[in-house]
Amino acid sequence: MTDTAIGRDDCLQWDEQDPLRRFRERFTLPPGVIYLDGNSLGALPAHTPERVETMIRREWGDGLIRSWNDAGWFEKPVVLGDRIAPLIGAGAGEVVVGDSTSISLFQALTAAVRLRPDRRVVVAEADNFPTDLYLLQSVQEIAGLELRLVDPRTPGASLDDLLDEQVGVVLLSQVNYRTGELLDMAETTARVHAAGALVVWDLCHSVGALPVDVTAAGADFAAGCTYKYLNGGPGSPSFVYVAPRHQEAAAPPLTGWQGHRRPFAFEGAYAAGEGATRFRIGTPQLISMAALEASLDIWEEVSLADIRTKSLALTDMFIRLVEERLPGLGTVVTPRAHASRGSQVSVRVDDGYPMMQALIERGVIGDFRAPDIMRFGFTPLYTSMTDVWDAVEVLQEIVVSESWRALPAAPSGQVT
Ligand SMILES: Cc1ncc(COP(=O)(O)O)c(C=O)c1O
């Protein structure tokens, strides 16, 4: 769009040309809601309830135990992994689905550490999502390693400063959950490899938000969730990627029976399953997998290039409108450069919590991350340019009327 002031009509026109427009009706969103939190929990695909009901009534209710074979339950973690693979640039047999991101991270991190037995240091970002830090701290303690934290605010604590011949494994998020900053996966992986270390990527905020290419980047391991941009539903299972070159040597720590080479031989000794299947643990969450399966149907029709183009247009527009119309609101902390931006915009605002609550009361749903970040996630499958316009309009009304002052200044519920 041009540099002159943008109007709502311009946004409507943009939406008419949008190649992803048709996907909006594939989701069920409540009327009157502008949903800008798909980076936390994706929206409900319209056909998911039917798929889950079929799983429960037909596969479980009628099929009972027979469904392990007849409905392909046993293979589901691998079949779904193969369906996620194209979304992250992986090949068949390189991704398995199951468990939670925290568990998948623990599996990948420990396996990576075991591949570098002579190196006694692990590295993580100080401002990564807490579960990543907590899990790496645990791996570090169990294995008796040293942990170094990358912190751009501290002199001498950049990734390059910390990398040396002691470092075995580096854990990084491709998109930072708080700021929305996107790292260059290929360039960063190359730097880590040049130091002789392995890298584990957390893809939670990038899978389904932009084209990801673990193969081209040379990533060693990756893990991610499916309940954000992939729309698999609350608590839907995570996935783990294992580069083919590591598959035969990788030794994940949680050696459950379904990761065994011959699970139904019921042998007393563990023998790791072939390739990435050894990252399976125990009985998978099959009801959640049915919901994930339904959401992946949509992804088979989507061009990730279109997703990226629209995501950048939506976030550009949001940043532009917020800065033009609400110049005193706060600081946009999300990078301006497209190459460094995921699919969310984070604004640092002193009274961000009550302001976000006021927005949610008006049907514009984003979220808040302590101490002062208002997060707005943009999901190209079901967010329109007009939604962006309308959301900023509501935000402006709230700021001008100061209606947020009537709301509690600090969180009362457990989830912000
Ligand atoms: C970067 C990142 N990693 C991990 C998680 C969550 O892990 P889990 O799915 O185990 O709750 C989140 C959740 O928002 C996240 O943002």
Q: Report whether 189 contacts 211 (CB < 8 A).
A: no
Q: Does 228 participate in catalysis according to the annotation? A: yes
CB of 131 shorter than 6 A to ligand 1: yes
How far apart are the C-alpha atoms of 158 and 151, rounded to whole Å?
A: 6
Query: Does 227 participate in catalysis according to the annotation?
Result: yes
Q: Is 129 a catalytic residue?
A: yes
Q: What whole-number distance in Å separates Cα of residue 402 and Cα of residue 115?
A: 56
Structural domain spans, the chain: 8-46+303-405, 74-299
**Adjacent-strand bridge partners of 28:** 44
Q: Are the CB atoms for 97 and 84 separated by under 8 Å? A: yes
Task: Name the DSSP letter for residue 341.
Answer: B
Q: How far apart are CA 257 and CA 408, in angstroms?
A: 49
Strand partners, 48: none
Distance 91 CA to ligand 1 centre (A): 24
What is the distance of C-alpha 66 from the center of its chain?
34
* Per-residue pLDDT tens digits for 165-221: 999 999 999 999 999 999 999 999 999 999 999 999 999 999 999 999 999 999 999
CA 86 from centre of chain: 15
What residue owns the CA closest to ligand 1's atom 9? 101
Q: How many residues does the chain have?
A: 416
Among the listed residues 27, 177, 221, 227, the single catalytic one is 227
| Given the residues 18, 37, 202, 367, the one annotated as active site | 202
Whether 277 and 260 have beta carbons less than 8 Å apart is answered as no
| Model pLDDT for residues 20-70, shown as the tens digit of each residue | 999 999 999 999 999 999 999 999 999 999 999 999 999 999 999 999 999
Query: Is residue 188 within 8 Å of 216, Cβ to Cβ?
Result: no
Nearest atom in ligand 1 to 227's CA = 9
Q: Is residue 302 within 8 Å of residue 229, measured between CB atoms? A: no
**Structure-token match 């998911």, residue found:** 48
Q: Give nearest CA residue, ligand 1 atom 6.
A: 101
Identify the CATH class of 74-299.
alpha beta
Hey, which of 39, 204, 227 would you mutate to test ligand 1's pocket, going by the most ligand atoms within 8 Å of its Cβ?
204
324-367 pLDDT, tens digit per residue, is 999 999 999 999 999 999 999 999 999 999 999 999 999 999 99
* Any atom of ligand 1 within 6 Å of the Cβ of 80: no
> What type of residue sits at position 34?
I
Q: What CA–CA distance (Å, rounded) separates 40 from 368? A: 11
- What kind and span of H or E run contains 265? none
Does residue 414 register a pLDDT over 90? Answer: no
Q: Ligand 1, residues 177, 182, 254: which to mutate, most atoms within 8 A of Cβ? A: 177
Say what the pLDDT of residue 3 is.
58
Closest alpha carbon to 311 in 374, 216, 382, 363:
382
Answer for the pair 289, 76: CB distance below 8 angstroms, yes or no.
yes
Q: Give the Å distance between the CA of 132 and the centre of ligand 1.
A: 8
pLDDT digits (tens, 9 = 90+) for 292-333: 999 999 999 999 999 999 999 999 999 999 999 999 999 999
Ligand 1 centroid vs 255 CA: distance in angstroms?
22
Is 239 annotated as catalytic? no
Pick the CATH number of 8-46+303-405 from 3.40.50.300, 2.40.50.100, 3.90.1150.10, 3.30.56.10: 3.90.1150.10
318: nearest Cα among 339, 337, 343, 340: 343
**Any catalytic annotation for residue 310?**
no
d(CA 130, CA 211): 25
